[in-house]
Amino acid sequence: MRTLESQSREIGGVKYIVTPLTTRAALRVMCRVLKIAAPAFGDVAALRDAAAAAGGAIGTLLSGLVSDLDDAALVEVCEAFAEVCEADLGGAKTLPMRNRQWEEHFRGRLFDLFEWVVFCGEVTFGPLLARLQAKAPEPAAAPAAG
């Protein structure tokens, strides 16, 4: 199993270390952000369309969150990203954001919260978008003998 590559970014003086969401969690977030009732991704092309839409939504999340996402959806997205994020507060250990730690951590720091959500979205959907937007390579595998 490949190790998931984490990315880090400093937001509001705190360094956040984020790994991509798992497939199941990413699909759930995409459905929530895109308001899709079911993961109707019949093939990679449909996934490409959905990822492009999700990427756009995440890119404009700061404005989109307030107008497009209801409170429950926003909380659900935050909880999903909290599962894959730890904060480096400069101590010996990092602070996991899961188990609702993110709520206390971002108290009074709403703008930092939005920036954190956008960053988490970039970590998961950025590489996905890059792959989906890349031209599909021609099959390089030679026909099997026999």
Partner 1 sequence: MIVRVPGRLCWPVHRVATSGHYPDGLAVIEERWTLAMVVDACDVCDAIDEARAEAIKRAGEG
Give the interface with partner 1 as residue ranges (CB under 8 A). 1-2, 4, 20-24, 26-27, 38-44, 47, 51, 124-125, 127-128, 130-132, 136-137, 139-146
Q: How far is the CB of 52 from partner 1 (least distance, A)?
A: 13
- Taking the least distance from each CB to partner 1, the nearer of 11 and 123 is 123
Q: How far is the CB of 68 from partner 1 (least distance, A)?
A: 21
- Taking the least distance from each CB to partner 1, the nearer of 92 and 145 is 145
- Taking the least distance from each CB to partner 1, the nearer of 30 and 87 is 30
- Taking the least distance from each CB to partner 1, the nearer of 50 and 113 is 50
Q: How far is the CB of 18 from partner 1 (least distance, A)?
A: 12
- In sequence order, the β-bridge partners of residue 9 are 16
